[in-house]
Amino acid sequence: MVRAEGKTYPFDDPSVVDPSVLETFPYEYAGRDAVVEISTDEFTAVCPYSGLPDYGSLRVRYIPAERVIELKSFKYYLLGYRNVGVYQEHAANRILDDLVALADPKWMEVVLDYRLRGGIHTVVTVSHGARSS
């Protein structure tokens, strides 16, 4: 019998996530604050300790200044995490940093809610800017 205890599966480094796939389009109502919410319950990366998959829900809320995040490009961006070994706290911050660099929003919040594993539930919330609306 082969035991799996302590086994590590291969995974990629976070440097393989390519933010250049992200695209935006002009926000035509730049003088009017609107809260845009993007969510998925299919976010996946892997544990950087074991290489085992982690699954979670991701929610991005933001107030665009002049640019709006194009959704298909965001899906491609998220697929880049599929085999990346990254802690949840680091993934949330990396996603926030990449999206802020892309769209330069007035305010943005990223919430990464991993599914329960081993009896522990974790939600990471990070934000940028001040929400005025």
Q: Which of 12, 13, 18, 54 is catalytic?
A: 54
Contacts of 72 (CB under 8 A, 6+ apart): none
Q: Which of 47, 97, 98, 104 is catalytic?
A: 47
Contacts of 53 (CB under 8 A, 6+ apart): 44, 45, 46, 47
Catalytic-residue membership of 12: no
Catalytic-residue membership of 47: yes
Cα(33)–Cα(21) distance, integer angstroms: 26
Please give the torsion angle defined by the CA atoms of residues 87, 88, 90 and 92, in that order, rounded to the nearest 10 degrees: 160
Active centre residues (catalytic): 47, 54
